Chains A and B, each alone.
Chain A
Amino acid sequence: MTEKKQPGQKPKPKRSWTRRIFRAFLALVALLILLAGAGVAVLELGWFDGSMRNAVIKQIEQVTGGTVELKRFHFAPLALRVELTGLTVHGREPEGTPPLLHADLLIVRIQVDSFWNKKVSLRELRILKPEVHIRFNADGTSNVPPPRTPSVPSDRPLRVRLFEFAIHHLQLDDGTILYNDVRVPLVAEGDNFNLSVDWGQAHSAPVYAGKLTWDRFTLVAGRNMPFAAGVSLRFAISADAFHVEQLQLKLPHSNFDVQADIEPLAAPALGFRWRGMLDFLDIKEIFRKPTMPGGKVDFGGSGTFKNGEWKATGHYAAREINLPYDWFHSGGITTRGDFQIAHNTMVVPNFEATALGGTMHGRVNLDFKGLLFRVESHSTGMSVGTVLNAIANKSLPVETFHWDGAMSVDALSTWARDFKHFASQGTTDWTAAAVLPPGKIPATAHIEYDYSMDRNGVVLRASRIETPTTTIIFGGTLGGDDSALDVGLTVNDMLPWDDFINRLRGEDAAPERIAGRATWQGKLTGPLVNPTFAGHVHAFDAGYGTLYWDEAEGDLTYSSTGFQFARAHARRGNSVAQFDLSLELEDWAYLENAKWNMDADVSRTPLDGLQQMFGLSFPVHGLLTGGFHGRGTHGDPQLTGVFEIAELNAWGWSIDRARGQLTLDHREVRIANGELRVTPLGAAGGRAPSLLTGNIGFRFADANINFDLTGAVIPIQAIHQIQTPRMPLSGDLSFQLHGSGPLLAPAAQGTVRLVDLRAGQDLFGSFEGKLDSDGKTARVELSSALPADRLRGHVELALSGDMPIFGELDVKDMDPDPLIRAGLHLEGITGSSSMDGHFKLTGALLKQDSISMDVNLTHLAMDYAFMKLENKDPIQITYRKNEVRIEHANLTGSNTDFHISGFARFAGDRTLGLKLAGAVDLRLLAGFVPRLKTSGAANVNASIEGTLAAPRINGRLEVVKASANYDDFPAGLSNVTGAFVFDASRLTFENVRAETGGGELVFGGSVSYGDGFSAMRYDITTRASNVRIRYPVGMSWLTSGSLRFSGSTQAATLSGSVTVHRLLLAQGFDLAALLVSNSQAVRAPTTSSPFLRNLQFDIQAKSSPDARVEWSSASFESEADLRVRGTWENPILLGRISLLNGELSFAGNRYRLSRGDIDFTNPFRLDPVLNVQATTTVQQYEVTLDISGPASRLAMSYRSDPPLPTTDIINLLALGQATESTAYRGSTAAQTPQSGATSLLSEAISSQLGGRLEKLFGITRFRVDPFLAGTTNAQNGAARVTIEERVGNHLAVTYATNVAGAQEEVVQVEYIVRPDISIVALRDFNGTFSLDVVFKKRFK
C-alpha cells in the first residue's frame, strides 16, 4: 500500500488490440494465476508462515524498538487475513514485570482496493485481550523503547494521514491497560477495555465513528485515594471535526455527562454542554479532604472555548450541605444560583442559601485568574440559638448559654481557590425573637467583626451582647494564634450561666448550683482554642453548690493550663478569708497529678461563716486566726498552717482557746503543739479550767495513730456519752497518754486521774489509773487516790475480736452510798457506809450479753434510814444479761435481822423474784417512801414478784408500838399495832390501831397498789377520839369523829365529820400580829410534798358545848360551826366562830371582850371577817377598841372615855402616855442609795470570801474587799481590810482600814446583851465616836 489513496476513484480498464498478445497475455495470466494459486495454496498451507513470522517480528521490532515474541503467525492469502497469535512486545521493563504489550490474538484483514494501483486498505484490525503496560520511572525513563528505525516526519497532519489509511473496522476486546507514571504519580489500571471504530461516510465525507467503553478501571493519582471509575465515550471524527456525542464519566458517587464539538480541527473552537451531579463525598474520599463538607450539587450549562476564551452559562443547586468543622458545624444547608462565565470570571448574581434557620442572598464573583472568590451576602432570620449550636465546641460550649433571637448578618467574604485566604467582615445584629422556645433566654447584640484566615483571627469592634441578666461588652481580637479581647461582664444572676460553667468544669463533673451576682473586667488572651481569661472578678451573694459567700473578690486568671485567684478575699458575715490560690490544669481539667498552691490568712474570723463557705455544718463555733499554706497535687494535697481558735464552742464544749500546727497530706494528718483550753458549760466567762495539750497524728494508709496527749481537769459532767439520768457523773478528769499503732488497737501508755468523781450529788472520791497497751491487750491498773487504797484492781481488754474483757477489783472500806443513792434512788441512805469485797468482770465488750460481774461482799455496813445495817455473812451478787441476782444476803441491825434473796431484771419484762423474811426496823421504810418517817419493830415475811413497774407483794407485816410521821402532816402516829396484810395487789389493815395527838385512831379500809406504787389508791377509814390536830401553824384543835382518806397519790380527799372540843393557839400567837399584819389573808403552812399539795378537805366541824378558844394571853368561850374545804395550802373555812366572853392582852394592855364574831364566808380563800370589840383602862381613860372587817383589810377604831384624839389614844395604848415626840433615828443620811447598796453587797461578798478561809485558817474574819467592777469610785475604790475578832459569845471587836489610806480606820466594839439587844461603840473614819443601842425585832 504504497500508492496514494484516491478515495472515490475506480481504476480505469485497459484495452488490448491484439489477440496474440491477448492470448499470450491470457496464458501469462493463467500462468500467473496458476502461480498465484500455487502461491496461495502454499501460503494457505503455511509453508512460508515461519519465514513470514520472522519478517513480521523483525518489522515489529523495527517499528517498536522492543523485543517481540510471536507464538504463531499465519497468513491466509485468500482471505487477506493475517493472524498473530501470542504477540508479545517487551520494552525496557525489568525482568519479571509484565511486558509492554501483549495480545492473545491479533487479526488483520486487508482489503485490496486496487491491484493496479497497489491500493489496499485495512479492512479489519481486531485485537483480542490486549494488555498494555506502560511505566514511567521517576527519572523520566519508561519501558517504551525508541523505534529502531526513526520515523520520517510527515508533512501532512495526522488527521489527513489517518483518513488516507482507511481502517474499516478497529476493535479491541476485553483489553487491559496498566499505566503507571511514577513521576505524577498516576496509575490507571483496569480491564474490560473495549474500543471499536468503524469507518464510514457522512455527507460524502469519510468519518470514523467510534465507541470506547472502559467500565471499570481504577485510577490513582498522586496521593489521592484510588477510586473506581467508568467511562463511556461515543465520538465521531471527520477530517475537519471531532464530535463527542456523549461522554459519560462515573465516579463512585458522582456522574458527569458532556457533549462537545470541536471544529474545524485546523482552527479548533470548542462548544460544549454538560450536566451532572457531584457528590462532595467523592472529593472528600478521593482527594483525602476530611474537612470537605458533605453535600451534593446538581449542575448544568453550556459554553464555548474559542480564541483562547471560555464562555459559559449555567446553574447549580446544592443540597444536603453539611459543614463538619469544629468551630462551625451545621447541616441541611442548601444553595442555588445561576452563573455566567466570561472573561475569565464567573458571576453568580443571584446566590441564595438557606442555613441556620435563615436565608442568605448575595452575589458571588469568581476570578479564574487565581480562583479568587468574593461573596457579598445579606443574611436574615437566622436563629441565634442555632448559630450558637453551630459554633459550640468542647472548649467553648456556647450552646449552654441558652440564648436565642433573630440574627441578621451583612458580610463581605473573600477567598481564593478552596477557601484559601478566607476573609469575612461585616456586622451582625441580634433582635429578640417573637416567640422563644422553652428554656431559651432572649439575647440581643450588635457585633462588628472582621475575620481573616491569614491573620487567623477575628477583630471585634464595639460589640455588645445583652440578656435580661447579663451584659457583655467586648472589643479586640480573637485569634487562633493569639487573642486580645477586652471584656466587661456584668451578671446580675449567675444561675443562667450554671450550665456553661458546669460544662467548662468537665462533662464528667457533677453539676453544681452557681448563684449570685458578679462582675468581671478583664481580657481574653491567647489562642482561641486555648484562651486565657484574666481579670478582676467581684462576686456578691455567691453560691457554689452548698457553699455561699456574701462577697468574693480577686484577680482571676483562668486558662487551660491553670487557675489563679490572687489577692483574693471571701467574706461570709463577719468571716473574712484572704488567700491566693493557684491550680495547675491540663486541658481545662484538674488532673490527679496537677499541682496547686494556696496561701490563706484569717484573723478572728467566725467559724460559722467559714463552714458555710465550704459547705460544712459541724456544731463548731468560734473565731479562727491563722495562716495556712497548701501545696502539692490534686491527688496529693498538702496543707500546713498555724491556727488559733478563740471563743470556740464545739459539740457543746466551751473552749476558750484552741491552737496548734496543722499538717495534712494524703498520708497523714497531724496537729502538733496543740492546745485546748476548755471551760465547761455554764461556767462564768473568762475562765479556762481545762487543758488538753499534745500532738496527734493519723496515718490514712494503715489507719495508724500516734499521739502524745495531756489533759488536765476536764469536767466529766461534760462527757455526755457516759451520762445517764439515773446516775449523772461529775468530777474532773486528768490524763497523760502517749502511744502509737492502729487506731483501734494502739500501743499506749499513760495515766488517768479522776478527781472528785461524783454520782449525782454524792462524792465517790478520786481515782487513778495506769494504762498500758501493747496493741493487743490494754491493761488498766486502777486505784483510789483520795482516800487511798480503798479501791485497787485492774481491767484487761483484748483489742481484737469481740474484745474480751477481764477485770478484778478489790474494794476496802469503800462507800457504796453514791451507787445506792444514784443507782437505786434510795434516798434513805444517810451518813457514810462502807463495803469490802471483790468484783470480777468477764465477757466480751462487743457482746454485751456476755458481760457478767460476780460480786462477793465480805463486809457491808451502811447507815440506812437512820439506822445501821450490816451483813452477817458474805453477800454474793451476780450480774448477767441485765439481771442482778442476790444469792444470799443476811442484814442485821438495830431490831433488824432479815434475809433477802432473789433476782431483779432491768431489761425486757423487768421481772422480780425477791423474798424477804425476818425482823426489820421500820425506819427502813423511810428509804422507800420519801418524807415518811417511821420507827418501831416489825416482822415481815413477804415475797415480791411481778415486774418492777407492777410488783405483786404477798405476805404480812406485823408491827408493835410503831410510829410514823409524814412530812409536814401535823399529826403523827404512835403506838401503832396490828398487821398489814399484803394480798398481791392490795394492802388491808388487820386490827391496826394507833395513837395521835393524845387520842386514838382505829384504821380500816385498804390500799391498792396493783398498778404499781406510783398508782396506789387509798381508801382508808379512821375513827378518832380526842385527837389533837395542829393545823394551821400555831393552832391546835382537839377533836373527835370519823374521817375517810380516799384517792390516789395524785389526788386524795380527806372527808368526814368531827367535833371540836377546844381550839388552842400556840404560845407566841399574838393577836396584835394578826391585827397589824399586812393585807395578806390568813395563810396555811406551805409544803413541798406533792401529796399534801393535792390533798382536798371536806370536813364538817362543830364545837362541843363547852368548847373554848385559848392562847397565852387570851381565853374565850366559843361556839363554832365550820366546814373545812379547799386544799392543804389553801384551806377554806366556811361558817362562824362566836366568841362568847373572855379576856385578852394586846400591846401590854389587858382588854375585856365585849363581843366577838369571826365569820368565814369567803369560799375562795381563808379571809375571815372579824367583828370584835374590847375595852381596857389606861390611866384614867377607858379605851374601847373595835376591830372589824376582813382579816385582809382590817379596820381598827379607837375611842376613849373621856374622849381623846386618835393619836393620843394610840400613844396612850403604846407608850402609856398621851403625847410623845419621837425622832426618827435614821442613819447615814448622807449616803446615796447606790453607795449604800454597794457597801452592803460588797460586805456580803467579802463575808463569803472570808468565810471560806475562816474554815481553813480559823481567822474569825479576814477579808479583802476587791470592790466589784463597776462599783468602784474614787472614794472607796481601794481595797479594804477588815479584821473581826469575836471575844467570847457576847463581845466582838472589829477593825477595818482602807489600805490606800492609813487614816481611814474604823474600830467597832459590839456587846450583845441579848439576842435582840446589843450595844455598839463605834469609832468611824472621821474619828467620831458613837454609842448605839440596837434593838432587834423581827415580825413574821
Chain B
Amino acid sequence: MGSQAKGQLRAFALLPMTIGILAMLMCRPAAGQQVVDRIVARVEGDVLLLSDLRELGQFQKLLGGEPETESKRLDELIDQWIVEREAQAAQFTPPSDADVTSAVRQLEKSLGGTQAYQKRMGEVGLTSTAVRRLLGQELFFNRYFDYKFRPAAQVDGDAEQKYYDGEFTKEMTARGQKVPPIDSVREQIHELLVQQDISARAAQWLTESRSRLKIEIVPEAAAGSK
C-alpha cells in the first residue's frame, strides 16, 4: 500500500471521526443548560423530583452500598410517599430530635467515627441535615408501621409453639446448638412473629394502596441521572 493510499485510508478514517466529533459537539447541550432538577413522577398530583431520587441514591451510597437502579429507587420513593401521607393523616407524632440524634450517632459509629462519617458524607454529596432528615424518616416510618399494624398482629401460644417446634428447633439444630426450653425464648419468639406479621401486613398494605393511586412516571426519568 502506497503512501497515497495510506493517506486516503487515513482520510476515510478521519472523516467519520470528524463527523462523529462534530455530531457530538452539535448534540451537546449548550453551556449553562445543566439539568438542576425535574419531575420524575406524579403521585396523586404530588410530584417526586429528580433531586429526591438522587438523594436516595446518595443515602444508599452512604450506608455502604451502591445506589439501586433509578426505577427501583422511584418505587421506593412512591412507597415513602404513601407511608408519609398516611402517617401525617393519622397525626402520628414524628420522632424527637433526640431519637434522630441517637440514630445519627449510631450511623457515625458504624462508619468509623465522626470524621469518617463526615468524610463519607462529603464523598456521596449529602449534607448532615439531609442525613438527619432521612434517618428521621426511617424512624418515623418504622414506628408508624409498628403503630399501624401491631394492634392487628395477633400471635397465640399455638403459633409460638409451632415456630419453636419447627423453624427454631430446626435452625438451632442446624447450627449445632442445644435447643433451649420454649419458656426461655417465648418472649422473643412472640415478638418475632409479631414483627413478621407487621412486615407482611405492611407489604400488603403498600401493594394495595399503590394499586389505587394515580401514579404517572415521567418518561424522561428513565434518562435521568445515574
Bound complex: CA A441 to CA B179 (Å): 73
B154 A1258 Cβ-Cβ under 8 A:
no
Residue B101, interface by CB 8 Å: no
Interface string of A1238-1268 (1 = CB under 8 A from B): 1011101100110111011111101010001
B211 A1258 Cβ-Cβ under 8 A:
no
Interface string of B140-170 (1 = CB under 8 A from A): 0110010110111010000000000000100
Which B residues touch A1289, using CB under 8 A? none
**Nearest CB of chain B from residue A253's CB, rounded to whole Å:** 93
A1259 B185 Cβ-Cβ under 8 A:
no
Residue A1297, interface by CB 8 Å: yes
In the complex with contacts A766-B86, A1257-B56, A1295-B64, A1245-B110 CB distance below 8 A? no
Interface string of B97-139 (1 = CB under 8 A from A): 0000001001101101100000000000000000000100010
Q: Which of A732, A1255, A1299 contacts B106 (CB 8 A)?
A: A1299
Which partner residue on chain B sits nearest A814 by CB separation? B212
In the complex with contacts A1236-B175, A1240-B168, A1258-B68, A734-B151 CB distance below 8 A? no
B91 A683 Cβ-Cβ under 8 A:
no
Which partner residue on chain B sits nearest A762 by CB separation? B208
Bound complex: CA A249 to CA B212 (Å): 120
Which B residues touch A1090, using CB under 8 A? none
Residue B50, interface by CB 8 Å: no
Q: Which of B66, B86, B147, B213 contacts A787 (CB 8 A)?
A: B213
Bound complex: CA A410 to CA B145 (Å): 91
Residue B90, interface by CB 8 Å: yes
In the complex with contacts A755-B90, A1255-B203, A1256-B80, A1270-B64 CB distance below 8 A? no
A1255 B206 Cβ-Cβ under 8 A:
yes
User: Which B residues, 42 to 66, have Cβ-Cβ distances below 8 Å to chain A?
Assistant: 44-45, 56, 59-60, 63-66
Bound complex: CA A732 to CA B89 (Å): 10
A1255 B79 Cβ-Cβ under 8 A:
yes
Residue B37, interface by CB 8 Å: no
A1252 B180 Cβ-Cβ under 8 A:
no
**Nearest CB of chain B from residue A719's CB, rounded to whole Å:** 14
Residue A600, interface by CB 8 Å: no
Bound complex: CA A941 to CA B180 (Å): 66
Residue B214, interface by CB 8 Å: yes
Residue A13, interface by CB 8 Å: no
Which partner residue on chain B sits nearest A1283 by CB separation? B64
A1264 B106 Cβ-Cβ under 8 A:
yes
Residue A684, interface by CB 8 Å: yes
Residue A682, interface by CB 8 Å: yes
Which partner residue on chain A sits nearest B155 by CB separation? A684
In the complex with contacts A786-B85, A787-B44, A1295-B64, A687-B147 CB distance below 8 A? yes
B187 A788 Cβ-Cβ under 8 A:
no
Bound complex: CA A1067 to CA B195 (Å): 38
Interface string of B191-226 (1 = CB under 8 A from A): 110111011001101101101111000000000000
Residue B73, interface by CB 8 Å: yes
Residue B176, interface by CB 8 Å: yes
Interface string of A1103-1127 (1 = CB under 8 A from B): 0000000000000000000000000
Which A residues touch B147, using CB under 8 A? 687, 689
**Nearest CB of chain A from residue B180's CB, rounded to whole Å:** 4
Bound complex: CA A833 to CA B208 (Å): 12
B110 A1249 Cβ-Cβ under 8 A:
no
In the complex with contacts A753-B89, A1257-B138, A1258-B56, A684-B150 CB distance below 8 A? yes
**Nearest CB of chain A from residue B154's CB, rounded to whole Å:** 6
Bound complex: CA A1262 to CA B64 (Å): 10
Residue A935, interface by CB 8 Å: no
A1253 B91 Cβ-Cβ under 8 A:
no
Bound complex: CA A755 to CA B88 (Å): 11
**Nearest CB of chain B from residue A123's CB, rounded to whole Å:** 134
Classify the secondary structure of A's interface with B: mixed
B106 A682 Cβ-Cβ under 8 A:
no
Which A residues touch B209, using CB under 8 A? 763, 765, 786
B175 A1228 Cβ-Cβ under 8 A:
yes
User: Which A residues, 1203 to 1231, have Cβ-Cβ distances below 8 Å to chain B?
Assistant: 1226-1229, 1231
Bound complex: CA A1238 to CA B187 (Å): 10
Residue A495, interface by CB 8 Å: no
In the complex with contacts A786-B86, A1259-B63, A1279-B106, A1251-B199 CB distance below 8 A? yes
Residue A1076, interface by CB 8 Å: no
Bound complex: CA A703 to CA B194 (Å): 47
A1233 B110 Cβ-Cβ under 8 A:
no
Residue A827, interface by CB 8 Å: no
In the complex with contacts A766-B86, A1238-B188, A1302-B109, A832-B211 CB distance below 8 A? yes
B60 A1257 Cβ-Cβ under 8 A:
yes
Which A residues touch B64, using CB under 8 A? 1283, 1285, 1295
B199 A1252 Cβ-Cβ under 8 A:
yes
Q: Which of B45, B76, B175, B188 contacts A1241 (CB 8 A)?
A: B188
Which A residues touch B206, using CB under 8 A? 1255
B192 A1262 Cβ-Cβ under 8 A:
no
Residue B22, interface by CB 8 Å: no
**Nearest CB of chain A from residue B77's CB, rounded to whole Å:** 9
Which A residues touch B79, using CB under 8 A? 1255-1256
Which A residues touch B198, using CB under 8 A? 1248, 1252
In the complex with contacts A734-B90, A1258-B60, A715-B151 CB distance below 8 A? yes
**Nearest CB of chain A from residue B139's CB, rounded to whole Å:** 10
In the complex with contacts A763-B212, A1245-B191, A1259-B177 CB distance below 8 A? no
Which B residues touch A1258, using CB under 8 A? 56, 60, 67-68, 72-73, 76
A684 B184 Cβ-Cβ under 8 A:
no
B175 A1249 Cβ-Cβ under 8 A:
no
Residue A820, interface by CB 8 Å: no
A1233 B85 Cβ-Cβ under 8 A:
no
Q: Which of A715, A755, A1299 contacts B110 (CB 8 A)?
A: A1299
**Nearest CB of chain B from residue A605's CB, rounded to whole Å:** 28
B188 A1236 Cβ-Cβ under 8 A:
no
Residue A712, interface by CB 8 Å: yes
Bound complex: CA A766 to CA B212 (Å): 11
Residue B40, interface by CB 8 Å: no
Q: Which of A687, A1240, A1262 contacts B63 (CB 8 A)?
A: A1262
A788 B151 Cβ-Cβ under 8 A:
no
Which B residues touch A1268, using CB under 8 A? 187-188, 191
Residue A510, interface by CB 8 Å: no
Which B residues touch A753, using CB under 8 A? 89
User: Which A residues, 707 to 727, have Cβ-Cβ distances below 8 Å to chain B?
Assistant: 712-713, 715
Which A residues touch B195, using CB under 8 A? 1245, 1248-1249
Q: Which of A684, A755, A762, A1231 contacts B177 (CB 8 A)?
A: A1231
Residue A428, interface by CB 8 Å: no
In the complex with contacts A1258-B68, A1259-B65, A1270-B187, A1233-B86 CB distance below 8 A? no
Residue A769, interface by CB 8 Å: no
Which A residues touch B113, using CB under 8 A? 1302
Of the listed residues A753, A1255, A1256, the one surrounded by the most CB atoms of chain B closer than 10 A to its CB is A1256
Residue A16, interface by CB 8 Å: no
**Nearest CB of chain A from residue B95's CB, rounded to whole Å:** 13
B199 A766 Cβ-Cβ under 8 A:
no
Bound complex: CA A1259 to CA B150 (Å): 23
A683 B90 Cβ-Cβ under 8 A:
no
Instruction: List residues of B whose CB falls within 8 A of some A CB.
Output: 44-45, 56, 59-60, 63-68, 72-73, 76, 79-80, 82-83, 85-86, 89-92, 103, 106-107, 109-110, 112-113, 134, 138, 141-142, 145, 147-148, 150-152, 154, 168, 171-172, 175-180, 184-185, 187-189, 191-192, 194-196, 198-199, 202-203, 205-206, 208-209, 211-214
Known: A1281-B106, A1297-B110. 8 other contacts (CB 8 A): A786-B213, A787-B212, A1236-B177, A1237-B168, A1245-B192, A1252-B198, A1259-B60, A1302-B109
* A–B Cβ pairs within 8 angstroms, 11 of them: A684-B150, A755-B89, A1229-B176, A1237-B172, A1255-B202, A1255-B206, A1256-B79, A1256-B83, A1259-B63, A1285-B64, A1285-B65
Which 3 residue pairs are nearest across A and B when measured between Cβ atoms? A1248-B195, A683-B151, A1241-B188
